[in-house]
Structure 1
Amino acid sequence: MMERTPAAATRTRGDRRSAFDRFVEWAHLRASQAPMFVTCMAVIVLWLVSLPMWSDLKEWQAVIHTVAAVVTLLLVVLLENASRRADEAMQEKVNVLAEALAALMTSSAADDPELREAVRTLRDAVGLEERH
Structure 2
Amino acid sequence: MEQRSEAAKHRTGGDGRSVFDRFVEFAHHTVSRAPFFVVCAGIVALWLISVPLWTDLKTWQAAIHTVGSVFTLLVVVLLENASRRASESSHEKLNVMAEAIAALLESSARDDPELRAAAERLRDAVGLEERH
Alignment of 1:92-107 (within 5 A): 92-107=92-107
AA aligned opposite 1:36: F
2:73 paired residue number? 73
What is the CA distance between 1:129 and its match in structure 2? 9.3
| Structure 1 length-normalised TM | 0.90
Q: Give the unaligned 5+ runs of structure 1.
A: none
Larger mean CA deviation between 6-15 and 26-35 belongs to: 6-15
What is the CA distance between 1:22 and its match in structure 2? 0.4
Identical counterparts, % of pairs: 66
> CA–CA distance in 2 between the matches of 1:100 and 1:38?
45
Larger mean CA deviation between 23-32 and 109-118 belongs to: 109-118
Alignment of 1:1-132 (within 5 A): 5-127=5-127
Report the RMSD for the aligned CA atoms in angstroms. 1.7
> CA–CA distance in 1 between the matches of 2:94 and 2:113?
25
Q: Deviations over 1:3-62 (max 9, x none)?
A: x84432221111001100000000000000011101101110110010001111111111
Q: Give the unaligned 5+ runs of structure 2.
A: none
Tell me which of the two structures has the higher relative contact order, counting C-alpha pairs closer than 8 angstroms and 6 or more residues apart.
1
Q: Deviations over 1:67-121 (max 9, x none)?
A: 1101110011000000000001001100110010001100111122211111111
| Structure 2 length-normalised TM | 0.90
